[in-house]
Structure 1
């Protein structure tokens, strides 16, 4: 009855139970750390151009290119259990083509990953930059400066379009800041629409509404010249 195999199974079962209990406590500790992210977004330049979705396409589509400025303080999202924070900016506008009530178009125009000092070894950067990053974080479990962003006239990473291929002269477009917290142990968490205890919804993080401009025609450019 008490063979070596049974004893090994009992020891392993006890170990996994303790490990699960410790992991649950670590995950629950996140709810004791206050979160109060803030952000300010504004557009600096908006253009709409025509282009092909791929090289062999004969049909051109309209693409919006949005430059923006961002000042954000996401330092409160970093705790001893934070692995990294995924930050991204979306352009959103009402969808009048689908016929659905309150339908909204959403497209990502920029994103970035901010690692905590304990996860710097996971960053996908060059060896020299990685050594400098790790050295700057020596002895730090939490580095609040990692969550502070200040971007001026930032170029978008992605041009955006619509399934119809038309975005020019669209009204009610806004930019919105989003985040996704990835912990070492626990669940992924995203932006909140309301306050939950010590976790507060983002203050700001939404630009003023604007309009996609019309596509500049070649004839108009020639007339100006």
Structure 2
């Protein structure tokens, strides 16, 4: 029975959507230890209802800033996360500042372009977890600290 339940999830074709707007860079500074830090206000909207099937227990979702530096081809900083317990909560709009600190190890963020990526992990009642993401491009940090 568990195998059938797990296999049946392979036949669903989810079509989640998401949009993030950066409304304001609240502050952008170089800390005394030399690391850059950013605080920003965002609107996060998503419709993840199509991720839910009869076998979905919950969905873990997080928003990450992703960017490249000379030292690392991929830097990922988690800015916000949440657990969606049921389909009726899977369509949401959130006005927030980053829940977690956006810090770079060094002074690499001035003028940097970055992506905001909404990641999710579907946790089934039975079977294996499924993960995917939506990448949103075209975001830039200021050239100077504020």
Task: Establish whether residue 90 from structure 1 lines up as the match of residue 56 from structure 2.
Answer: no
| CA RMSD after TM alignment | 2.0
More helix by share: 1
TM-score (norm 1): 0.59
SS at match of 1:191: strand
**Structure 2 residues not aligned, in runs of 5+:** none
How many residue pairs match? The answer is 145
Select which of 52, 55, 58 maps to 1:78: 52
Native 8 Å contact 1:74 1:148 kept in 2: yes
**Structure 1 residues not aligned, in runs of 5+:** 1-21, 53-58, 117-143, 193-201, 217-225
- Cα 1:174–1:210 change in 2 (3 A) is same
The equivalences for 1:93-172 within 5 A come to: 93-98=67-72, 103-116=73-86, 144-152=87-95, 154-164=96-106, 166-172=107-113
- Structure 1: how far apart are the matches of 2:109 and 2:69? 13
- Structure 2: how far apart are the matches of 1:213 and 1:157? 24
- Structure 1: how far apart are the matches of 2:110 and 2:122? 35
TM-score (norm 2): 0.87
- Structure 2: how far apart are the matches of 1:215 and 1:181? 38
